[in-house]
Chains A and B, each alone.
Chain A
């Protein structure tokens, strides 16, 4: 459980990060909070030749209000998200991530780039239609969160790109519910309900390779259906897989229950 050998660089700016990554030719890895990367390196499941420590890159650690959204720097720690008052959904979601020690180190950019299907922040990013700013050799591009997540722990980021910030729009109403074996565990299912204008969105984590919108459930709601009806629709449109923590029917039932709870918390009729 010790890492294989690697080189270590600590650039002072985003440009240098990108250049270093490009020089590593696909073999470099950004080190942010290290809470996901270091364990897999210790298990030698990740063996980057160069570790690019971005923790000293200035200007990426804040959370700022930006119109009807908040802009979160890639290095903003989960603990900061939890403490900020401007985006209550983000604060709620962050409070479900791991434990204090993990929230003190883990970063927003790291969580999105790591793209764990059970992680909270990617679900919130999709649920709020967040915009991700990405720096690369050709400058900065912006993409929708939904375009970032391409599959199980995979993203559309190139090897020499770095997330610099994420803009999370603020929903007018929202509800969050999560089912995990212990508090702080990765979710078996996370359900996030967000209201933008008169549209209710239902987004699920933990039930597929990447966060997914439960469109059938959303249609039920758009047609005036109850929380229970929408929950049932959501549980039928997902394709969960059985694992140590439960069978497919159990996971469908948990998804339905979390959707129901998130909808009720949003204020939708049972």
Chain B
């Protein structure tokens, strides 16, 4: 019945739908919104990490004519992230701190004024008295005073993953590698910080919330619940969003505050644009972890067992709605990566501290866990005199092992790791890099090292593998509505969201090919909960698989109706019809018989021509849930030069090969991979959120928090292995994989070049220099 499109758009790098507006400065971001009577919000934030609030005085500020809201105003509203895991200690996050503050930067009040300047003037006049409490900054030091009374030891969740016989395995191992690894707290830092505009329509009791979020439907659901509103009366609009990376997949107290304040000020739109200082201070952080790793190997480098203890600093609050489990559980579930492993014990815990909450950040925990795992191979290879590549080959999951049940009981359906590795080694020309390394060693020139990482990226999780730690919802499905309009053009209302990933483009490609119309005839609307039925949004590399799957299923449903109608009009058998590029033809005939536009006109305007039994209209809505997930294989290899005098690294070449399954838009796929590697390099070499012992953020501006610029990011070579996944489009997610490699690759390269083990990230010049210095002292 369906046509084989001869000129489909999938698989080609068609011009992106969003580029016209984004590259000409016509993007529509929340901050661009100007509404009549709009007022501006500034949040007053705690200057201390941990303290009891002993006094709040707003009189002076209120005296200047601004409106002030404090903790007492919304004390009855609390964000409580829920999980059914037995060890989980549920805690609450207030809208504005009251009673006590738990991290420096936590909102304690808000001022509403005619503009942001005046709002900040007002904040200076609000008096809050603090009675300091001892702060906890480091998650692996015992607290003097717990962050939450419910968790006296600050542990919000702990779980042990076990498989096989760990103690016996270690007792009999030829080699046991042991390392304590600490990864650096950093964050997503999208170019656009957080932003919101909320307006309350008192007559209809309706709230409209423009929010730079990755998850508008989740936001609507949660805001309605927290404010006790009918869900249909809440409209969340995520217009153009300038990057998210997970930071914007969270519902924040500031978001809820904006909506609550808007309800208290009917008809007055309230706008808040987060600045970078606020973002660094109070948007979610990530990757502040310690891995105590032991690995057992036999004499030929076969991995026998892993015994790990993982502590994740989850900050002051269990992030809403993902919980404090998001990083520790991901670390424990995926630590063994794409390697065969029978004996496994990993205790993971999420520990609260007086620092900003940690939340999802592109790659969630795995940039750290891949580093920990690959460090085991690098150390074991050095001990056994094996090549770093060879030891990985001996242990990696192969296609014949698939489906492979990991020791955490996740099922790996990929197995294409060795293929990715081989291609990466070809692209970097591994033998010649090794030869150059030798030559330099002999000549006494600047040393180079080669770093290698293999990883499995769990993407497109369906209900059986759904992201998140047993929360009261499952994120396995998305919806899509496809409408062929009366002129034959197509409007899609998709549940996906985009923060720059080009989802309008990809969804249009899927729908165009799924119906048989041209890409240019498809227009995609996203990010408005009043327009699209349902979508969980952007996280866990899920949208190509799930939102894409929904678009595909819906397009097929609409095509079916289109062809039924056409068959009636043409008095042909539906099985003989094909639709290509908006024209419908009968098999075996040279010329098309009728256009999609003519059929659509009948569907809406010429009911007298409607065949018997066919209703007007050409529209369908479908959901898709892949049930399981699709593992995406990846390999990264880099050659790195080290300056022995300064400890600086120069990346000479960086290669990544991933299995994206079927690449729907090759340029977008490469963009995702390049961007995530760049973020990974930032985390590996530069980005570090540092707190002093009092809990003050020392890296509060981009002067001290070092983001990589294009000057720091090397040319990359990106290669592909295309093994279609078992879903309707054959795709695997590619949004996060790139971030998984760089920590392991760059620390591994330094190890390879100089024989020094980098156990604490980032791999900064001073760290490399100190390690070299210690090595010289030992020698």
* Residues of A bordering B, CB below 8 Å: 1-5, 39, 43-44, 99, 179, 181-186, 244-247, 249-250, 253-254, 257
Chain B min CB distance to A204 (Å): 16
- Asked if B275 is at the interface of the complex by the 8 Å CB criterion, the answer is yes
B766 in contact with A3 (CB, 8 Å): no
Q: How does the 8 Å CB contact mask read for B701-719 relative to A, with 1 for contact and 0 for none?
A: 1011010110110000000
The answer for the CA separation of A99 and B708 in the assembled complex, in Å, is 13
Q: A179-B646, A182-B712, A244-B698 are in contact. Are A2 and B120 (CB under 8 A)?
A: yes
B117 in contact with A182 (CB, 8 Å): no
Q: B277: which A residues are within 8 A, CB to CB?
A: 1, 43
Q: A254: which B residues are within 8 A, CB to CB?
A: 646
B765 in contact with A181 (CB, 8 Å): yes
The answer for the CA separation of A249 and B704 in the assembled complex, in Å, is 21
* Residues of B bordering A, CB below 8 Å: 116-117, 120-121, 124, 275-278, 645-647, 686, 688, 690, 698-699, 701, 703-704, 706, 708-709, 711-712, 764-766, 769-770, 773
Q: A181-B706, A185-B706, A246-B765 are in contact. Are A257 and B646 (CB under 8 A)?
A: yes
The answer for the CA separation of A244 and B124 in the assembled complex, in Å, is 30
Chain B min CB distance to A242 (Å): 10
The answer for the CA separation of A184 and B707 in the assembled complex, in Å, is 12
A257 in contact with B706 (CB, 8 Å): no
30 contacts between A and B (CB under 8 A): A1-B275, A1-B276, A2-B117, A2-B120, A3-B117, A4-B124, A5-B121, A39-B701, A43-B701, A99-B709, A179-B646, A182-B706, A182-B708, A182-B709, A182-B712, A183-B709, A185-B706, A186-B703, A244-B688, A244-B698, A244-B704, A246-B769, A247-B766, A247-B770, A249-B773, A250-B765, A250-B766, A253-B645, A253-B769, A257-B645
A244 interface neighbour in B646, B690, B709, Cβ under 8 Å: B690
Q: A186: which B residues are within 8 A, CB to CB?
A: 703
Chain A residue at smallest Cβ distance from B42: A2
Q: B116: which A residues are within 8 A, CB to CB?
A: 2
A182 in contact with B121 (CB, 8 Å): no
The answer for the CA separation of A169 and B712 in the assembled complex, in Å, is 35
Q: A3: which B residues are within 8 A, CB to CB?
A: 117
The answer for the CA separation of A186 and B278 in the assembled complex, in Å, is 23
The answer for the CA separation of A245 and B646 in the assembled complex, in Å, is 12
The answer for the CA separation of A4 and B120 in the assembled complex, in Å, is 8
The answer for the CA separation of A181 and B685 in the assembled complex, in Å, is 10
A246 in contact with B709 (CB, 8 Å): no
B711 in contact with A245 (CB, 8 Å): no
The answer for the CA separation of A2 and B277 in the assembled complex, in Å, is 11
Q: A44: which B residues are within 8 A, CB to CB?
A: 120, 124
The answer for the CA separation of A43 and B280 in the assembled complex, in Å, is 14
B711 interface neighbour in A1, A183, A244, Cβ under 8 Å: A183
The answer for the CA separation of A179 and B647 in the assembled complex, in Å, is 11
The answer for the CA separation of A254 and B764 in the assembled complex, in Å, is 13
Chain B min CB distance to A8 (Å): 14
Chain A residue at smallest Cβ distance from B117: A2
Chain B residue at smallest Cβ distance from A249: B773
Q: A4: which B residues are within 8 A, CB to CB?
A: 121, 124
The answer for the CA separation of A183 and B648 in the assembled complex, in Å, is 12
Chain A min CB distance to B557 (Å): 50
Chain B min CB distance to A227 (Å): 13
Chain B residue at smallest Cβ distance from A4: B121
B708 in contact with A250 (CB, 8 Å): no
> Known pairs A179-B646, A244-B699, A246-B764. 9 more at Cβ < 8 A?
A2-B116, A5-B121, A182-B709, A182-B711, A186-B703, A246-B765, A246-B769, A253-B769, A257-B645
**Residue of B647, B711, B769 contacting most chain A CB atoms (<10 Å):** B769
The answer for the CA separation of A5 and B117 in the assembled complex, in Å, is 8
Q: A249: which B residues are within 8 A, CB to CB?
A: 773
Chain A residue at smallest Cβ distance from B647: A250
Closest 7 A/B residue pairs (Cβ): A246-B766, A1-B275, A2-B117, A250-B766, A257-B645, A2-B120, A183-B711
Chain A residue at smallest Cβ distance from B698: A244
The answer for the CA separation of A245 and B703 in the assembled complex, in Å, is 12
The answer for the CA separation of A138 and B65 in the assembled complex, in Å, is 46
A250 in contact with B275 (CB, 8 Å): no
B120 in contact with A250 (CB, 8 Å): no
Q: A257: which B residues are within 8 A, CB to CB?
A: 645-646
Chain A min CB distance to B679 (Å): 15
Q: B703: which A residues are within 8 A, CB to CB?
A: 186
Chain A min CB distance to B351 (Å): 24
The answer for the CA separation of A44 and B698 in the assembled complex, in Å, is 17
Q: A183: which B residues are within 8 A, CB to CB?
A: 709, 711-712
Q: B709: which A residues are within 8 A, CB to CB?
A: 99, 182-184
A250 in contact with B770 (CB, 8 Å): yes
The answer for the CA separation of A183 and B647 in the assembled complex, in Å, is 16
A181 in contact with B690 (CB, 8 Å): no
B766 in contact with A245 (CB, 8 Å): yes
Chain B min CB distance to A113 (Å): 19
Q: B701: which A residues are within 8 A, CB to CB?
A: 39, 43
Q: A179: which B residues are within 8 A, CB to CB?
A: 646
Q: B686: which A residues are within 8 A, CB to CB?
A: 181-182
Chain B min CB distance to A223 (Å): 25
Chain B residue at smallest Cβ distance from A43: B277
Chain A min CB distance to B417 (Å): 33
Q: B647: which A residues are within 8 A, CB to CB?
A: 250
Chain B min CB distance to A216 (Å): 21
Chain B residue at smallest Cβ distance from A1: B275
Q: A39: which B residues are within 8 A, CB to CB?
A: 701
The answer for the CA separation of A2 and B123 in the assembled complex, in Å, is 12
Chain B min CB distance to A96 (Å): 13
Chain B min CB distance to A260 (Å): 8
The answer for the CA separation of A78 and B276 in the assembled complex, in Å, is 26
The answer for the CA separation of A179 and B769 in the assembled complex, in Å, is 14
The answer for the CA separation of A183 and B713 in the assembled complex, in Å, is 12
Chain B residue at smallest Cβ distance from A261: B645
The answer for the CA separation of A179 and B646 in the assembled complex, in Å, is 8
Q: A250: which B residues are within 8 A, CB to CB?
A: 647, 765-766, 769-770
Chain B min CB distance to A250 (Å): 5
The answer for the CA separation of A2 and B688 in the assembled complex, in Å, is 25
Chain B min CB distance to A146 (Å): 27
Chain A min CB distance to B39 (Å): 15
The answer for the CA separation of A53 and B773 in the assembled complex, in Å, is 50
Chain B residue at smallest Cβ distance from A251: B766
The answer for the CA separation of A247 and B277 in the assembled complex, in Å, is 26
Chain B residue at smallest Cβ distance from A99: B709
The answer for the CA separation of A257 and B645 in the assembled complex, in Å, is 7
Q: B688: which A residues are within 8 A, CB to CB?
A: 244
The answer for the CA separation of A182 and B706 in the assembled complex, in Å, is 8
Chain B min CB distance to A241 (Å): 14
Chain A residue at smallest Cβ distance from B711: A183
Chain A min CB distance to B770 (Å): 7
Chain A residue at smallest Cβ distance from B766: A246
Chain A min CB distance to B439 (Å): 23
Q: B704: which A residues are within 8 A, CB to CB?
A: 244
The answer for the CA separation of A3 and B117 in the assembled complex, in Å, is 7
Q: B712: which A residues are within 8 A, CB to CB?
A: 182-183
The answer for the CA separation of A186 and B709 in the assembled complex, in Å, is 15
**Residue of A1, A43, A245, A257 contacting most chain B CB atoms (<10 Å):** A1
Q: B120: which A residues are within 8 A, CB to CB?
A: 1-2, 44
The answer for the CA separation of A2 and B686 in the assembled complex, in Å, is 28
Q: A2: which B residues are within 8 A, CB to CB?
A: 116-117, 120
